[in-house]
Structure 1
Amino acid sequence: MSLRHGFKAEANRLAVQMRRELGLHPVSPLAPARLAEHLAIPVKTFSSAIAHDARIGLLLTGEREAVSALTVHAGARREIWVNDSHDPGRQNSSAHHEIAHALLMHPPGPALDPRGCRHWDGEIEEEANWLAGSLLITNEAAWSIVRRGTSPEEAMLQYGVSRQMLTWRMNMSGARGRRIQSAS
Structure 2
Amino acid sequence: MALRHGFKAEANRLAVQVRKELGLHAAAALQPALLADHLSIPVSTFSAAAAVDSRIAILLGGEKESVSALTVHCGPRRHIWVNDSHETPRQNSSIHHELSHALLQHEPGPAFDPRGCRHWDGDVEAEADWLAGNLMITNEAAWSITRRRLRDAEAMACYGVSKQMLTWRMNMSGAASRRRTA
Please, what TM-score do these two structures have when normalized by structure 2? 0.97
Gaps of 5+ in 2: none
Q: What is the one-letter code of the residue matched to 2:168?
A: W
Q: What is the one-letter code of the residue matched to 1:51?
A: A
SS in structure 2 of the partner of residue 120 of structure 1: coil
Structure 1 counterpart of 2:12: 12
How many residues matched?
180
Q: Deviations over 1:70-98 (max 9, x none)?
A: 00000000000000000000000000000
Structure 2 counterpart of 1:160: 160
Q: What is the one-letter code of the residue matched to 2:67?
A: V
Q: What is the one-letter code of the residue matched to 1:63?
A: E
CA distance in 2: counterparts of 1:169 and 1:37, whole angstroms: 25
State the Cα distance separating 1:45 from its structure 2 match: 0.5
Structure 2 counterpart of 1:78: 78
Structure 1 counterpart of 2:142: 142
State the Cα distance separating 1:10 from its structure 2 match: 0.3
SS in structure 1 of the partner of residue 80 of structure 2: strand
Identical columns (%)? 72
Instruction: Say whether 1:44 aligns with 2:44.
Output: yes
SS in structure 2 of the partner of residue 80 of structure 1: strand
SS in structure 1 of the partner of residue 54 of structure 2: coil
SS in structure 2 of the partner of residue 5 of structure 1: coil
Instruction: Say whether 1:115 aligns with 2:92.
Output: no
CA distance in 2: counterparts of 1:178 and 1:134, whole angstroms: 19
CA distance in 2: counterparts of 1:97 and 1:161, whole angstroms: 13
Q: Deviations over 1:15-58 (max 9, x none)?
A: 00000000000010000000000000000000011111111100
SS in structure 2 of the partner of residue 47 of structure 1: helix
Structure 2 counterpart of 1:170: 170
CA distance in 1: counterparts of 2:122 and 2:136, whole angstroms: 21
SS in structure 2 of the partner of residue 116 of structure 1: coil
CA distance in 1: counterparts of 2:4 and 2:97, whole angstroms: 18
Q: What is the one-letter code of the residue matched to 1:28?
A: A
Structure 1 counterpart of 2:33: 33
Instruction: Say whether 1:93 aligns with 2:93.
Output: yes
SS in structure 1 of the partner of residue 179 of structure 2: helix
**Contact map agreement 2:149 2:179 (CA 8 A) in 1:** no
CA distance in 2: counterparts of 1:55 and 1:13, whole angstroms: 41
CA distance in 1: counterparts of 2:29 and 2:179, whole angstroms: 21
CA distance in 2: counterparts of 1:73 and 1:16, whole angstroms: 26
SS in structure 1 of the partner of residue 51 of structure 2: coil
Structure 1 counterpart of 2:105: 105
**Contact map agreement 2:69 2:80 (CA 8 A) in 1:** yes
